[in-house]
Amino acid sequence: MFMRLREYLSVGVVIVFLIVLSETKIKLGVDKFDQLSCAANLKQIYESLIATVDENPSIFRSNPSKPWYRLIDGLKQEDLRCPAKKNFNENKDSLYSDYAMNRVIYERLLKQQTFTEGYSRKILILDSDTDPTEFNLFPLTSPVFRHTDGCNILLLDGSVIWCDKDDFTDN
């Protein structure tokens, strides 16, 4: 009788261990899916931004009081939301962004300036919180690390890269 109880107990321990292990793997899988979905959102934002600026180069200069994401044609709310940010207020404004645009790039867009070769690897947009100006521009204090201690960054050349939290310094 005691042997049977030990067998049941050991089987129970193994089952609990497998459940904990599978939940960890599921969590990692969800995090990776959110990270990839976020990268796809950034690519969509880039394509829409390029198309909008090609069609109307003075769009930002003509509308300086509007946030950048409201001026880009073809963006839907789901393109502007980071999938990893689960808690958001759906009663908010119809167009809200979890992504921040580089203030230097935004100012160049306002002035309708072109970007030289040296700008191709500059940060255009990153996964971040809204800044106090409500333009969703950065630099901010630091990016929000929603995806397992890192964030996606859209570069001016249209590529999306992953940066670990250790890639950011206080300098």
Instruction: Report how far Cα 87 is from the mean position of its chain's Cα atoms.
Output: 14
Give the mean pLDDT of the chain: 75
pLDDT score recorded for residue 171? 42
Q: Tell me: the pLDDT tens digits for 24-39?
A: 555 556 677 888 888 9
Q: Tell me: the pLDDT tens digits for 37-61?
A: 889 999 999 999 999 988 998 898 9
pLDDT score recorded for residue 88? 56
Q: What band does 98 get if pLDDT is binned at 50, 70 and 90?
A: confident
> Distances in Å between the alpha carbon of 133 and those of 52, 58, 111?
23, 21, 19
Buried b (16+ CB within 10 A) or exposed e, 90-112: eeeeeebbbbbbbeebbebbbee
Share of the chain above pLDDT 90, in %: 10
Q: Which of 78-87, 137-146, 154-163 has the lowest mean pLDDT?
A: 137-146
**pTM for the predicted model, two decimal places:** 0.73
- Does the pLDDT at position 139 exceed 70? no
Domain range list for the chain: 2-167
Q: What are phi and psi of 150, to 5 degrees?
A: -170, -175
